[in-house]
Chain A
Amino acid sequence: MTPLSLRAEGATLGYGGRAVCTGLDLAVRPGEFLAVVGASGCGKSTLLRAFAGLLPPTAGAVMADGAPVAGPSPDRALVFQDDALLPWRSARRNVELPLAIRNVPRDRRRADADAWLARVGLADAGRRLPRQLSGGMRQRVQLARALAARPRALLMDEPFGALDAQTRAAMQRLLLDVLADAPATVVFVTHDVDEALLLGERIVVLGPAGVEQEIPNPRSATSDPARRAQVLAALGAPATGEEAA
């Protein structure tokens, strides 16, 4: 499965006549890990919904691999902040869902789901219901479910936003790790500048008028304080806070 390229061209996005974001131009290279930051309500989630095909642009175009996005597709998986697992399905049956949609035979479905759950460190939790799992475990199941669909692009909407610092750090490592052998284009929305610096190969600061700033961010073990200051300045925040939202 080759990673997908994503592109917004002069896109105006919004709900019911109210534009959240106008004239947005953004290109995501195949296999790139793009981190998107920006103030609350600047259209970060809206952008992901447009890429996912859940929200058609009111003007301009949103494209995947050069073709206009007409609707949702298993090529483009969306990972939500929380509570997107179907609560009546066990962890394993949640992960099996995209496989069932693709008509994978039942026994292979089960083996595949178990493999993905093991991959995110939840080999023993397959039979538990979402309400019997902690927030971090639920997000790992969601990640497994998204990856089981073999997406060519992963659209992640503050997936670790509700987790405590320790769990979040473990999840970030896990995500990079999983991506190493299941390559996909990633658009990762976060309000946490440090998370963007840690994960993104490029950081985009989004505002109501589109991309306000682009910052290349070659990943390294230690985060560069100058670059951190640059992102914070672009967000218009005093350079002390953890969060810019």
Chain B
Amino acid sequence: MTLALDDEKRVAVAPGPAADRGRARLRWPVRAGSVVAAVALWQVLTAANARLWVRFDRFPGPADVAREFGRQLRTGQYYLDVAQSVVRIASGFALAAVLGVAVGVAVARSRWANDLLGPLLEIVRPVPAIALVPVAILLFPRNEQGIVFITFVAAFFPVVVSTRHAVRALPPVWEDAVRTLGGGRARVLASVVLPGVLPGVFGGLSVGMGVAWICVVSAEMISGDFGVGYRTWQAYTIVDYPGVLVGMITIGVLGRVTSGVVELVGRRATRWLPGEEGRR
């Protein structure tokens, strides 16, 4: 026998998608417009050779940069550099994500792990990853491994810190519920802790992706022989300013795309959050 209770109708209904779509139609032109306005300002300042304390008279204009960009896009070198940097980011970031979550959970859930790893983490954390370049050169037989190591270190700490915090902020009722249903430590870890910390972890991953780009580019500038950062610095040493700006724009676009991917994956993985009701 089933009982028909009449509280179904009190369930919140997501707001109609029509209103949302209307607002979204307006947002895209605004977003594109802000970028276009910045480029237009850049064009005006460089075309007028403006000298307003900051000097634009020798600064390459958008047209020069676009021409240089077009030229580079037709060379194989450009794609090779992009691929090199993306592979470095991807491997360093993936390592940081996996180890960062593992260490963060261990430190937050086990007193032993906290006593063993906690002080070490707190001492290494303040050292900027880019200051580890000499260490990386000494430690790793190949340049490539050193750069991935630096990228890994950069992204690792934000992930550890946010994971540790997210584990400690988990409401205890979920763990109690699973334990009273017969779940052991492994079950609590797999069914409560790991899914429960995801919102916090993705916060750390977003920050981590940002600093990973900063560090991969800096490391490439110092010790690379390929990659977007290396190419940008290379252009500077031969006084090829349009080339420098092409490098910077490339880094900006790659950074935007990768953090967008992290954001998107995070949204999909945490659709159960209360704030995600009518969002897309």
A interface with B by C-beta (< 8 Å) = 49, 52-54, 72-74, 76-78, 80, 83-88, 97-98, 101-102, 118-121, 123, 129-137, 140, 145-146, 149, 155, 166-167, 170-171, 173-174, 177
Contacts and interface: CB of A to CB of B under 8 A. Distances in A.
A54 B182 CA distance: 12
B182 A98 contact: yes
Nearest to B180: A78
Q: Report the contact-size class of chain B (Cβ under 8 Å from the partner).
A: 20 to 34
Given A84-B173, A88-B272, A137-B7, A123 B180 contact: no
Contact of B195 (A84, A88, A166): A88
B274 interface: yes
Contact of A149 (B2, B182, B271, B272): B182
Contact of B181 (A97, A120, A171, A173): A97
Interface string B73-86: 00000000000000
24 contacts: A52-B176, A72-B182, A73-B182, A78-B176, A83-B171, A83-B173, A84-B173, A84-B174, A84-B176, A86-B178, A86-B192, A88-B270, A97-B191, A101-B183, A102-B182, A121-B5, A123-B2, A129-B272, A133-B11, A134-B11, A137-B8, A140-B5, A149-B181, A170-B5
B32 interface: no
B177 interface: yes
Interface of B: 1-8, 10-12, 171, 173-174, 176-183, 187, 191-192, 195-196, 198, 270-274, 277
B272 A74 contact: no
Contacts, number: 104
A131 B178 CA distance: 19
A210 B187 CA distance: 35
A167 B5 contact: yes
A100 B165 CA distance: 29
A72 B180 CA distance: 5
Nearest to B2: A121
A86 B5 contact: no
A55 B182 CA distance: 15
A77 B183 CA distance: 12
Nearest to B187: A101
A83 B196 CA distance: 13
A192 to B, nearest CB: 19
Given A121-B2, A131-B277, A167 B7 contact: yes
The 3 closest A-B pairs by CB, nearest first: A74-B182, A88-B272, A78-B180
A218 to B, nearest CB: 25
A49 B180 CA distance: 10
A174 B3 contact: yes
Most chain A C-beta atoms within 10 Å of own C-beta, residue among B176, B179, B180, B273: B180
Nearest to A55: B176
Nearest to A164: B7
Contacts of A167: 5, 7
B277 A84 contact: no
B272 A80 contact: no
